[in-house]
Amino acid sequence: MKLRIQFLPALVMLLVSALYPANASAFVPSNDKAYYIQNKRGDLGTKDGFLVNTVRADLGATKGQFALISYQDLLYLYSIADKKFMYRDPVTDANGWSNVILSNERIDAFELEQSTTFADYPVRIKSNGFILNSARQTQKGVCLNTWNKYDEGNHYAFIEAAEFDPAEALATLERYFSGQLTVTYRVEDAQGNLLEELTATGNDGEVITAVPDHVERHAYTTYTVQQPVTLAKGGENIVKVTATWKLPFELSPDLDNVHWYNLALREGTEYVTTDNGYRCNPTPTSSDVMSDTYQWAFQGDPYNGIVVRNRSDLAKTLAKVNDRAVLSSETYAWKIEENSKGFLLANNTDGKYINEYGGSGGYLGFWHNASDINSIFTVSEVGSLTVENVKLPSGATLKLFKSDEENANGRAVLVIPGGGYGYVAGSSEGADWAPLFNELGYTAAVLTYTTPPTAPDGPLTQACDAMRYLREHAEECRTTTGQIGVIGFSAGGHLASTVATHTTGDERPVFQILFYPVITMDASYTHAGSRQNLLGDNPSDELVTLYSNEKQVTEQTPMCYLCWAENDGTVPPLNSKAYAEALRAKDIPVHTKSFPVGGHGFGFKTTYAYHDQMVEDLTQWLRGIDEGLTHIDSPHESSPLPEVCYNLAGQRISKPSHGVYICRGALKVK
């Protein structure tokens, strides 16, 4: 122990000499000296009320002399030419940099921090934790920021310039501090709930009509003084203020009336998705950003924190776990910060910002630099879909997704999901298609038909009912051209092609779009479940032929788009190929698009490998058929289908004479 004590002074001297080299001795300011302040970027000076750098402005000696005035054990930076003190202006904050301006209305203390990083410039200037930096990329040349590591703009040397009389500067400080009163600003929301109390200073007799700019403010918040207050010595000097939030997004008080947004980084070019561990997609399609994984909602307020939810899992909120952004079952609130290009979401515990940490397309991590473009979010509200439910006389229902009035092209499409005639498939073969068609100007009507069918022509009856409804309600459905098409998937593709081949008049579509459709009832290559549910156990040859739509094509059958995957193991691709061949034999325009993989039922699933190519191909086809549809100025004249009857065993009867029969979905007794 004695040896350690004996050698301790020598060790201390060694450390001191290492930290403070001989040519970097500690700077001790003096009130009666004027100084030039220099760094590698030149001399500091003042111009137009701001602290600037000679790299940006030719200041001359008079604008470049400063005094460091010590008053009540604190230092204040004083411009000798302007006779004003300097402070950080929080209102002009941009990307984490705050302009340093000149004023005697608001004065901030400064401190000097010795640095050994660069011997020629051994001092750093700080105020309220912010470091003075002669950043050339900022608007006014010199700012205060949080950049702590070595930078050629934040290390200084003080060069003695002349003798200085501090009397006037000290008198200014004396008047400033002795004449000030403490003012309490009680900030309330629009409902009168107290959010917080802020304190600032004012002068006796001053009338407060607005919250001063130097009072710290919350992001996107407007402060309005409820009633003017005259400050007085000995008074409470309490000013009531209403805070109004002007966020770049709507706050949703509950999930029943929520606003959904797409979050983007890199100035709105990379959209945040929950797929693959919360990454940014630099090349999303319109269908991508309409899916649940790309949609986010905000709850809370700038005072208590913003809760961020994703539509794919409403029970969780965005949280920080280690160095990653994840969805957590705990409610997690983010601090929102303003930025000239958007906003930032800051972590409350360590102050770090959500950031596209891995670069373009990278996962969401955390970074401390508020000026990094990968930390700045923008939002765009997801286009809302207006849905109307219509009950049809036949028992089917329609979900109407009307096109936007300004974008409407007067057309509609009847969307028929699949399900093997045993059920109606999910949204990937139904409502998920509505945004795409709406974007193209179409009203989309999703059909929910009866399954299993009450009779072989039951689904056709309900689909025809839907077609008639769209024509009879053309104005309200925005289908004023009479151009109504049909799109179907799997067994829904069979029903769509049945509508296309078995109808006339108002019931006939002007185009058909079929995805991996069941076309035939031929047992050798049909889908057995669809045939069983539609026709029964032992259908007649006539019934099989009637609903084998490759055999029902005529010159009046509408043009067709066909899409399938070659490895479909559920509905053989021969269905699509046979139908395409039959259409071509009648000179009906047909466009086919096949993919090597995809199996069955890929629909509008964005995870499908060829989803983007499929959507692009269909979009181009729809745009390309415009010319072929313009001749349809009004609906066809309606002509009823020939009555087709079946007995209760499912056998077709051409001329029933007695018994109970099913005719076009209705029971009849003869």
pLDDT digits (tens, 9 = 90+) for 431-488: 888 888 988 999 999 999 999 998 999 999 999 999 999 999 988 888 888 899 999 9
CA 83-88-94 angle, 5° bins: 135
Domain residue limits, the chain? 23-174, 179-245, 255-381, 387-587+614-629
Please enumerate in sequence order all residues whose Cβ is within 8 A of that of 7, keeping only pairs 6 or more positions apart, or say none.
none
| Residue 82 pLDDT exceeds 80 | yes
List the single range of 20-34, 65-79, 401-415 with lowest mean pLDDT. 20-34
pLDDT-based confidence at residue 612 (cuts at 50, 70, 90): confident
Q: Given this structure, which CATH class describes domain 23-174?
A: mainly beta
pLDDT-based confidence at residue 95 (cuts at 50, 70, 90): low
Per-residue pLDDT, averaged over 504-521, amounts to 94
Q: Residue 196 corresponds to which tokens in the numbers above?
A: 């917080």
% the chain with pLDDT above 70: 86
- Pick from 13-27, 44-58, 326-340, 638-652 the range whose average pLDDT is largest: 326-340
Q: What integer pLDDT is reported at residue 580 of this predicted model?
A: 95
**8 A C-beta contact, residue 603 and residue 429:** yes
| Residue 242 pLDDT exceeds 90 | yes
Per-residue pLDDT, averaged over 571-575, amounts to 95
| Residue 638 pLDDT exceeds 80 | no
Q: What integer pLDDT is reported at residue 69 of this predicted model?
A: 94
State the angle between helix axes of 491-502 and 528-535 in degrees (0 to 180), rounded to the nearest 10.
Answer: 50
pLDDT-based confidence at residue 412 (cuts at 50, 70, 90): very high
Question: What is the per-residue DSSP string for 577-627?
Answer: HHHHHHHHHTT--EEEEEESS--S--TT-TTSTTHHHHHHHHHHHHHHTHH
| Residue 47 pLDDT exceeds 60 | yes
Q: What is the mean pLDDT of the chain?
A: 83
CB atoms < 10 A from the CB of 578, how many? 19
pLDDT-based confidence at residue 647 (cuts at 50, 70, 90): low
Sign of CA dihedral 467, 469, 472, 478: negative
Per-residue pLDDT, averaged over 578-604, amounts to 93
Distance CA 536, CA 463 (A): 20
Q: How far is CA 44 from CA 4, 69, 86, 120, 152, in A?
A: 47, 17, 13, 16, 13
- The tens digit of pLDDT for each residue in 189-225 reads 988 999 999 888 888 888 999 998 778 788 889 999 9
Q: Residue 153 corresponds to which tokens in the numbers above?
A: 């703009």
Please enumerate in sequence order all residues whose Cβ is within 8 A of that of 552, keeping only pairs 6 or more positions apart, or say none.
498, 501, 502, 546
- Would 255-381 and 387-587+614-629 be classified into the same CATH topology? no
Q: What integer pLDDT is reported at residue 170 of this predicted model?
A: 95
Q: What integer pLDDT is reported at residue 163 of this predicted model?
A: 93
More confident residue, 116 or 473: 473
Distance CA 357, CA 368 (A): 11
Burial class (CB within 10 angstroms; exposed 0-12, middle 13-18, buried 19+) of 638: middle
Please enumerate in sequence order all residues whose Cβ is within 8 A of that of 303, keeping only pairs 6 or more positions apart, or say none.
195, 196, 218, 243
* Residue that has been written with the tokens 């949609």 in this structure: 295
| Residue 137 pLDDT exceeds 80 | no
| Residue 631 pLDDT exceeds 60 | no
Distance CA 292, CA 258 (A): 13
Q: Residue 238 corresponds to which tokens in the numbers above?
A: 């309490």
- Pick from 114-123, 225-234, 405-414 the range whose average pLDDT is largest: 225-234
Task: Give me the phi and psi of 264, to 5 degrees please.
Answer: -135, 155
Q: Residue 383 corresponds to which tokens in the numbers above?
A: 């286009």
3-state secondary structure of 628: helix
* Side chain identity at residue 518, one-letter code: V
Distance CA 372, CA 14 (A): 40
**8 A C-beta contact, residue 604 and residue 573:** no
- Pick from 35-49, 325-339, 587-601 the range whose average pLDDT is largest: 587-601
Q: What integer pLDDT is reported at residue 5 of this predicted model?
A: 30
| Residue 550 pLDDT exceeds 80 | yes
Task: Give me the phi and psi of 95, to 5 degrees please.
Answer: 55, 35
Distance CA 614, CA 607 (A): 12
| Residue 60 pLDDT exceeds 90 | no
pLDDT-based confidence at residue 398 (cuts at 50, 70, 90): very high
- The tens digit of pLDDT for each residue in 145-155 reads 877 777 888 99
More confident residue, 505 or 21: 505
| Residue 490 pLDDT exceeds 80 | yes
Q: Residue 534 corresponds to which tokens in the numbers above?
A: 């539609």
Distance CA 249, CA 259 (A): 8
| CA neighbours closer than 13 Å in the CB half-sphere of residue 609 | 8
Distance CA 211, CA 356 (A): 36
CB atoms < 10 A from the CB of 289, how many? 22
**8 A C-beta contact, residue 85 and residue 103:** yes
Q: Given this structure, which CATH class describes domain 255-381?
A: mainly beta
- The tens digit of pLDDT for each residue in 3-25 reads 223 333 333 333 333 333 334 45
% the chain with pLDDT above 90: 42
| Residue 292 pLDDT exceeds 90 | no
3-state secondary structure of 88: strand
Q: Looking at domain 387-587+614-629, which of 3.30.2130.10, 3.40.50.300, 3.40.50.1820, 1.25.60.10 is its CATH number?
A: 3.40.50.1820
- Pick from 99-108, 115-124, 506-515, 649-658 the range whose average pLDDT is largest: 506-515
* Residue that has been written with the tokens 């917080």 in this structure: 196
pLDDT-based confidence at residue 513 (cuts at 50, 70, 90): very high
More confident residue, 652 or 241: 241
